[in-house]
Amino acid sequence: MGYTLCVLGCGTMGIAILSGVIDSLDVHSRVPVVLHKWESHTPGTTTPVGLPDASTPTRFIACVSRAKSAAKLRTVFDGLGSLGKNTEIVASQNVDAVKQSDVVLLCCKPQLAHSILSESGLYEALEGKLLISILAGVTISQLTNWVHPRTKVIRAMPNTPCKIREGMTVVSTISASNDMEVDHAIILKIFSSIGRCRFLEEKHFDACTALSGSGPAFACIFLEAMADGGVMMGLPRAEALELAAQTLQGAARMVLQAGAHPAQIKDSVTTPGGCTIAGLLALEDGRVRSTIARGIQIATERASELGQPAKKQ
Ligand SMILES: NC(=O)C1=CN([C@@H]2O[C@H](COP(=O)(O)OP(=O)(O)OC[C@H]3O[C@@H](n4cnc5c(N)ncnc54)[C@H](OP(=O)(O)O)[C@@H]3O)[C@@H](O)[C@H]2O)C=CC1
Ligand SMILES: O=C(O)[C@@H]1CCC=N1
């Protein structure tokens, strides 16, 4: 069983998704199983290695346009031990790659989508297949107009932490088709193996693009600024970065795993008359909350423009 997954436009995000998925397959066949420290694990237990089911991708084709990018990808996937085993890299062979595939993950730049999908032969090659677009700002309705009527189009908005299987992906499907049950299983298998996956209506996609798609960049600005503060006060750079990153991860996990409200976590840290409230007031003086929230607003507005014909892109 299993199927072939083609990544059409395998750059930053294509690599992140593919390497996360390949790693997840590897983990499922590793003995003994390696789990995160917060998961229950009986030492010495093993994971049963079963045959892949119909929703598991077992062969991968990564497509790029330039030979130089293909060479870079070969190094990446060789390093993961998958090159020549279950992963092929091709340059300028989109139609042939799509013909050989069952599911196509469209990961090119939004402004290239129309021309890539209009290449002679691609329309036919995509007939009856599942096309998952991760493009910011390009709607299901636009994509549907560019492909064969029997191509099943869905949108997904993942983020770069998919690479380490800590991604956040939002998925939108437009309508049920005969195969939709299988398609849901396929979608969940891909994106749940590389992080969290949630289905939402397409009307929310630009906000999701800004919040979780662009989010790692915003989070890293905050992380870097926290570390800079530590360095300003004499901490070595490496330790300051470790403290900042682990602290942000810990706080985020308290929200995600323990179900704590962010305000509750903040209040529990804030001793009356202590140093936390002194720091919080300084942050509020800099309008930190509205600045961050406005950043998401502006990014959402920009995301909505990305699929439109070129203006000032
Ligand atoms: N970066 C991010 O964090 C996120 C990005 N996205 C979305 O993902 C998409 C990709 O972004 P990102 O990965 O950053 O972009 P990249 O520029 O890193 O990757 C784009 C890829 O498309 C390839 N490509 C270009 N032209 C063709 C073609 N004619 N046929 C096949 N492949 C082609 C490029 O190959 P070559 O180098 O050979 O030209 C490159 O590998 C965008 O639409 C973006 O909106 C979504 C969520 C997060
Ligand atoms: O900046 C961008 O346009 C893409 C979409 C989300 C993250 N990166």
Name residues contacting ligand 2 (CB within 6 A). Answer: 136, 209, 213-214
| Angstrom distance (rounded) from CA 279 to CA 202 | 39
- Confirm whether residue 9 is marked as ligand binding: yes
pLDDT of residue 53: 85
Q: Which of 146, 69, 73, 71 is nearest to 106 (CA)?
A: 146
Question: Which residues pair with residue 169 across a beta bridge?
Answer: 197
Sign of CA dihedral 281, 287, 291, 297: positive
| Angstrom distance (rounded) from CA 123 to CA 120 | 7
Atom of ligand 2 nearest to the CA of 213: 6
Mutate-to-test residue for ligand 2 from 109, 209, 296, highest number of ligand atoms within 8 A of CB: 209
Mutate-to-test residue for ligand 2 from 168, 208, 214, highest number of ligand atoms within 8 A of CB: 214
Atom of ligand 1 nearest to the CA of 136: 45
- Confirm whether residue 87 is marked as ligand binding: no
pLDDT of residue 39: 35
- Confirm whether residue 254 is marked as ligand binding: no
225 CA distance to ligand 2 middle (Å): 21
Encoded tokens for 173:
């499907």
Q: Find the ligand nearest to 161 CA.
A: 1
Ligand 1 proximity of 138 Cβ (cutoff 6 Å): no
Q: Which of 17, 108, 38 is nearest to 5 (CA)?
A: 17
DSSP structural state of residue 93: -
124 CA distance to ligand 2 middle (Å): 30
Residues 6+ apart with CB under 8 A from 309: none
DSSP-H helix ranges across 147-287: 180-192, 205-208, 215-232, 237-256, 262-269, 275-285
pLDDT by 10s per residue, the chain, length 313: 899 999 999 999 999 999 999 999 876 554 433 333 333 333 333 334 456 788 999 999 999 999 999 999 999 999 999 998 899 999 999 999 999 999 999 999 999 999 999 999 999 999 999 999 999 999 999 999 999 999 999 999 999 999 999 999 999 986 445 556 668 999 999 999 999 999 999 999 999 999 999 999 999 999 999 999 999 999 999 999 999 999 999 999 999 999 999 999 999 999 999 999 999 999 999 999 999 999 999 999 999 999 988 755 5
Q: Which of 152, 154, 151 is nearest to 191 (CA)?
A: 154
pLDDT of residue 76: 95
Domains and CATH numbers, the chain: 3-207 (3.40.50.720), 213-305 (1.10.3730.10)
pTM of the model: 0.92
Atom of ligand 1 nearest to the CA of 112: 26
Tell the residue number behind the tokens 């599911």, with chain if given: 103
Whose alpha carbon is nearest atom 40 of ligand 1?
11
Looking at this predicted complex, what is its ipTM? Answer: 0.99
Cis peptide before 57 (omega within 30 of 0): no
CB contact at 8 A, 33 and 136 = no
- Confirm whether residue 157 is marked as ligand binding: no
Give the containing element (helix H, strand E) for 293: helix 288-305
pLDDT of residue 26: 78
